[in-house]
Amino acid sequence: MFGIETLGGNTQAAVLIGLVLLEAIVLYVGYGLLESALAKRVTDLIRGL
């Protein structure tokens, strides 16, 4: 998909770990922003306010 299969074994493992870490950071920040933007609305909706 990213062309990392042409790299050597150790380099391929390091790149894959880096990509997974980058994905985790993006998801963490994205869900944090989503939660801060919608948390009050959702809790008010659940409470019926």
**Those residues with Cβ within 8 angstroms of residue 12's Cβ, 6 or more apart along the chain or in another chain:** 4, 5
Q: Which pLDDT score is estimated for 1?
A: 63
* Structure token digits, residue 31: 């869900």
pLDDT (0 to 100) of residue 24: 98
Kindly report, residue by residue over 1-49, the tens digit of the pLDDT.
667 778 888 898 999 999 999 999 999 999 999 999 999 999 999 999 7
pLDDT number for residue 9: 85
The confidence score (pLDDT) of residue 35 equals: 94
